[in-house]
Amino acid sequence: MKNIILTVFSFLYLSSFCHAQEGYQNPVIPGFHPDPSVCRVGDDYYLVNSTFEYFPGVPLFHSKDLIHWQQLGNVLTRPSQLNLQKAGSSGGIYAPTIRYHEGTFYMITTNVTDKGNFLVHTKDPAGEWSDPVWIKQGGIDPSIYFEGGKCYLVSNPDNTIMLCEINPMTGEQLSSSKAIWRGTGGRYPEGPHLYKKDGWYYLLISEGGTEYGHKVTIARSRNMEGPYDSNPANPILTHINMEAQLNPIQGTGHADLVEAADGSWWMVCLAFRPQSGLHHLLGRETYLAPVRWDTNAWPVVNGNGTISLDMRVPTLPQHPFPEKPARDEFNAGKASPEWIHLRNPHMENYQFTKDGKLRLLATGVKLDDSGSPTFIGRRQEHLRFTATTSVKLQKAAPNDEAGLTVWMNNQAHYDLYIKQLDQDKQAVVLRYRMGLLTHIAKEVIVPASNIQLQVKGENDTYSFAYSLNGTTFQSIGQMDTRYLSTETAGGFTGIILGLYATSQTPATRAYADFDWFEYLSR
């Protein structure tokens, strides 16, 4: 009898995860994860984002329910795939598209500081992807569509959505480019995706610029080459209108559609969360919305063309992943996939020691430079968080430094670091860089030992502290969040919490050992 009861209980428990549930929280992928694109393979969903000047490029996520996502790795992991040597702030990789066709995954994107549009492919999305094949048709935000054994490309040269046929394995353009739609009149028509449903070809794009006026529009035609008729109810997603002016989500746009295994339709899109007034720092994040798409009708996003943080809607059966530990102990012998570098890193400067430390070898490239400093970081994902690390600076000459940076770009960052003063003395220093202004806010002499550095993020401030024992933290100052915001610093990225090491005299080969890094949302 006990076995029967146990079996029934187990069945009911497991079944609770295998039926449609109500509701989820947006964003589904928080922090700097813009320009989402999604595809389905059976009951599995795969999603990619743009990464601009960061390496490796294009994070790859996997989900069973479109709500819970786990990063499998990154698509562009080799310098032969991703040349960022000349990438300035917000240069590099723009919006990617991921698609699956007959056993092969394809990812197409733009490197705006290299040769433009290119495509890579793989049989195993969690493994290695091919080297790029380059695409002749220009513009940005390319997307591909398969039909009848052919592959078609759409992108936006000259602010016009253009269509052509390509060979996805070689990149060769097989037909002339044809203009098919210019959008509804909003600026920057971009992010095109082509779909077919109920005998109609639907062309989804974004307009208005990736700011507060961002919006998603759609057109359709019975012929792939057009003419395309605009949806009378455009835009189908925007927060520019009055009903969303106080919504904590703004800048909705750049979307992709996917049909789930149960026949329901969903949209992923980017948006941002303003803080401290009309400023946003986390970058553009990935959001999810249900789509009602009746036969022979236009799609309707979440009933009224807006989204919310708390989405009270029926969902797919939910399959959450185990939570990742808050603390990275650096004992895996390699960086986990969420860690990224600035431009093409010099990997010889990043080591994992046998006793479980991340060792950063200091170089002469400074945080303010446009090269690739010894820098490894992860995204700020929450408005309220605490990030802490333990670091020891060794073999350092005067003015060598290593520590923690709250990083937007090379002209906008707050740094909490250990600085070598002379052979026997070190100091904890708080510094800010805002445009042409650099200022040392405070400097405290400390013993040359392991020092814990901490930053706490709030809506309006970053608070910095240090500890000599890992328990008792001493405040060293606060900084205003607004000066690192996109509205102040510019660009298309978001805050990265970085670990770094630089040297005034690189020949000394100073280095910093980081014992761990901990990130906690609050």
- Residue that is last in its domain, among 257, 284, 311: 311
- Identify whether residues 301 and 179 lie together within a single domain: yes
Q: Is residue 495 part of a domain?
A: yes
- Is-catalytic flag, 348? no
Q: Is residue 230 part of a domain?
A: yes
Q: For 412, phi and psi rounded to 5 degrees?
A: -150, 100
Is 48 in contact with 96 (CB distance < 8 Å)? yes
Q: Report residue 6's pLDDT band, with 50, 70 and 90 as the boundaries.
A: very low
3-state helix, strand, coil in the chain (%, to 5): 5, 50, 45
Question: Is pLDDT at 166 greater than 60 in this prediction?
Answer: yes
135: nearest Cα among 106, 98, 109, 162:
109
Q: Is residue 321 part of a domain?
A: no
Residue 486: in which H helix or E strand, if any? helix 486-489
21: nearest Cα among 261, 247, 316, 333:
316
Among candidate residues 35, 207, 328, 513, the one labeled active-site is 35
Domain holding 458, by residue range, is 327-521
Q: Residue 191 has which token pair?
A: 């992010």
Q: Is residue 211 part of a domain?
A: yes
- Identify whether residues 306 and 344 lie together within a single domain: no
- Residue that is last in its domain, among 311, 336, 359: 311
**CA dist list (Å): 138 to 110, 133, 263:** 9, 14, 35
- Identify whether residues 28 and 124 lie together within a single domain: yes
- Identify whether residues 446 and 387 lie together within a single domain: yes
- List the CATH number of the domain containing 53: 2.115.10.20
Q: What's the rounded mean pLDDT across residues 264-285?
A: 97
Distance CA 29, CA 281 (A): 15
Q: Is residue 319 part of a domain?
A: no
Q: Residue 139 has which token pair?
A: 């513009």
Per residue in 68-78, pLDDT (tens digit) is 999 999 999 99
- Identify whether residues 287 and 364 lie together within a single domain: no
Range in 51-60, 225-234, 416-425 the model is least confident about: 416-425
- Identify whether residues 366 and 391 lie together within a single domain: yes
Sequence-distant (≥ 6) Cβ neighbours of residue 4 within 8 angstroms:
none
- Residue that is last in its domain, among 259, 287, 311: 311
- Number of folded domains that form the chain: 2
235: nearest Cα among 260, 207, 275, 201:
207
Q: Is residue 437 part of a domain?
A: yes
Q: Which residues partner with 250 through β-bridges?
A: 272
Range in 7-16, 85-94, 137-146 the model is least confident about: 7-16
Residue 506 is predicted with a pLDDT of 80
Q: Which residues partner with 285 through β-bridges?
A: 271
- Identify whether residues 367 and 480 lie together within a single domain: yes
- Is-catalytic flag, 355? no
Q: Is residue 8 part of a domain?
A: no
Question: Is pLDDT at 296 greater than 90 in this prediction?
Answer: no
Q: What's the rounded mean pLDDT across residues 21-36?
A: 95
- Identify whether residues 440 and 389 lie together within a single domain: yes
- Looking at the chain, the whole-number percentage of residues with pLDDT higher than 90 is 93
Per residue in 334-356, pLDDT (tens digit) is 999 999 999 999 999 999 999 99
Is 135 in contact with 122 (CB distance < 8 Å)? no
Question: Is pLDDT at 10 greater than 70 in this prediction?
Answer: no
326: nearest Cα among 371, 385, 377, 384:
385
Per residue in 479-520, pLDDT (tens digit) is 999 999 999 999 999 999 999 999 988 878 999 999 999 999
In 100-123, which positions are buried (b, 16+ CB within 10 angstroms) versus exposed (e)? Answer: bbeeebbbbbbbbbbebbbbbbbe
> What distance lies between CA 491 and its chain's CA centroid?
14
Q: What's the rounded mean pLDDT across residues 399-424?
A: 95
User: What amino acid occupies position 412?
Assistant: A
Q: What's the rounded mean pLDDT across residues 75-94?
A: 97
Average pLDDT, the chain: 95
Is 201 in contact with 162 (CB distance < 8 Å)? no
Q: Residue 222 has which token pair?
A: 């019975």
Is 155 in contact with 143 (CB distance < 8 Å)? yes
Residue 422 is predicted with a pLDDT of 85
Q: Position of tokens 């009903």?
A: 243
Q: Is residue 189 part of a domain?
A: yes
Is 460 in contact with 276 (CB distance < 8 Å)? yes
Residue 18 is predicted with a pLDDT of 44
Distance CA 72, CA 75 (A): 9
What is this structure's pTM? Answer: 0.95
Among candidate residues 65, 141, 190, 400, the one labeled active-site is 190
**CA dist list (Å): 285 to 32, 381, 399, 495:** 6, 9, 37, 12
Q: Residue 44 has which token pair?
A: 């599995």
For 267-351, where are the alpha helices, taking DSSP H only? none
- Identify whether residues 120 and 231 lie together within a single domain: yes
Residue 453 is predicted with a pLDDT of 98
Residue 68 is predicted with a pLDDT of 98
Longest Cα–Cα distance of the chain, Å, equals 76
Question: Is pLDDT at 9 greater than 70 in this prediction?
Answer: no
Q: Report residue 213's pLDDT band, with 50, 70 and 90 as the boundaries.
A: very high
Q: Report residue 20's pLDDT band, with 50, 70 and 90 as the boundaries.
A: low
- List the CATH number of the domain containing 404: 2.60.120.200
- Identify whether residues 184 and 284 lie together within a single domain: yes
- Identify whether residues 68 and 186 lie together within a single domain: yes
Question: Is pLDDT at 13 greater than 50 in this prediction?
Answer: no
- Identify whether residues 302 and 446 lie together within a single domain: no
Range in 16-30, 316-330, 362-376 the model is least confident about: 16-30
Per residue in 34-66, pLDDT (tens digit) is 999 999 999 999 999 999 999 999 999 999 999
